[in-house]
Copies of this chain bind each other. A is one copy, B any other.
Amino acid sequence: MLVVMKNDATEEQVQAVILEIQRMGYRGVPMPGAQRTAICIIGNKGPVEAAGLLAIPGVKEAIPVTKPYKLVSRETHPESTSFKIGSVTIGAGEPVIMAGPCAVESEDQALTIARFVREHGASVFRGGAFKPRTSPYSFQGLGEAGLKILEKVRRETSLPIITEAIDSESLALVEKYADIIQIGARNMQNYSLLRLAGQTRKPVLLKRGFAATIDEWLMAAEYIMSEGNHRVILCERGIRTFADNTRNTLDLSAIPSIKSASHLPVIVDPSHAAGLRDYVIPLSRGAIAVGADGLLVEVHHDPAHALSDGVQSLYLHQFDELMREIERLKGFL
């Protein structure tokens, strides 16, 4: 941390800062400048709390230097993390495609879509049984009945299952039935849920909160990892901005940012970012070309009658088209 003094700070004020830094167990080294003095803190092993320093008269600001995350950081773990999900490996270069409906609606629906996406190259089946909906009056998912349908899908198609947990009760069920536990954007800072997910033995897919910085997102992953679960997949799904051309603004620069700061795999959900099915294919191509480790895509055999998110779900034939484009792009990577 760098403590910057006001330009009229006195020598006594500088000394007071240095004493406080010593009291905190570190060392403060003054750097007299032309306009003002700054004091470098050295000897700290992690982030330094600024409040005590900012309270001292003459202090203008405190600039943090050390990043607050440890286990997720590429600095402490330089090689990229990869692990197996069913028969595929995520984080190893080959993009992993997770596809399926927003919500599990019936056995028929789930199986129809699952068979199609498996045949056309998906490696994981997605489908929500617990849906966090903006309105209490909207369809909230089938609950455990939905999980049982997902279990059947896995039995019939051998596709590993990813589905969302929204609280401690659903987490216990999801852990039991699914292969990957999804934590949604609205729960990215639901720290109790993150800790519980960290205590499971299943990989966790952690979506970026729609107003989360990269640092906050990585800190949320740190919550999971700090409980002992190191199989975390990050998922960019668009951030909230003033732009109204898509439901959220897909931040593809998050991919190189994550790759630089962390060793964890990161995939992209173009469906929730765009909110419009016609943008899903071009944004998927972009995501893979930027370097994402995979995609999470909504597909429905009858989007017009989907119980949720029909507007952004690909038709089956569009998923086929998407997979053919991704297949060709892979030749490039």
Contact = CB atoms under 8 A, between A and B. Distances in A.
Given A168-B168, A243-B214, A285-B289, A40 B31 contact: yes
B42 A33 contact: yes
A144 interface: no
Q: How many interface residues does chain A have, given as a range?
A: 35 or more
Contact of A239 (B222, B243, B260): B243
A155 to B, nearest CB: 29
Contact of A283 (B137, B244, B246, B253): B253
A252 B283 contact: yes
Given A65-B4, A285-B289, A329-B289, A34 B45 contact: yes
Nearest to A134: B219
Contacts of A321: none
A6 B73 CA distance: 13
A52 B34 CA distance: 21
Interface in A164-196: 166-170, 186-187, 189-193, 195
B241 A256 contact: no
Contact of A253 (B34, B168, B245): B245
A121 interface: no
A92 interface: no
A243 B251 contact: yes
A116 interface: no
B278 A135 contact: no
Interface string A212-224: 0110100100110
A242 B245 contact: no
Which of A2, A56, A168, A306 has the most chain B CB within a 10 Å cutoff? A2
A50 B308 CA distance: 10
Contacts of A216: 134
A33 B66 CA distance: 10
Interface of A: 2, 4, 6-7, 29, 31-36, 38, 40, 42-47, 49-56, 63, 65-66, 68-69, 75, 132-137, 166-170, 186-187, 189-193, 195, 209-211, 213-214, 216, 219, 222-223, 226, 239-246, 249-257, 260, 273-274, 278-279, 282-283, 285-291, 303-306, 309-311, 328-329, 331-332
14 contacts: A29-B29, A34-B44, A36-B66, A40-B40, A47-B135, A63-B65, A239-B243, A241-B251, A253-B273, A256-B283, A257-B279, A282-B290, A286-B286, A289-B290
Given A213-B242, A243-B254, 12 more contacts: A7-B75, A69-B135, A239-B243, A239-B249, A241-B242, A252-B286, A253-B283, A256-B278, A257-B279, A285-B290, A286-B287, A329-B332
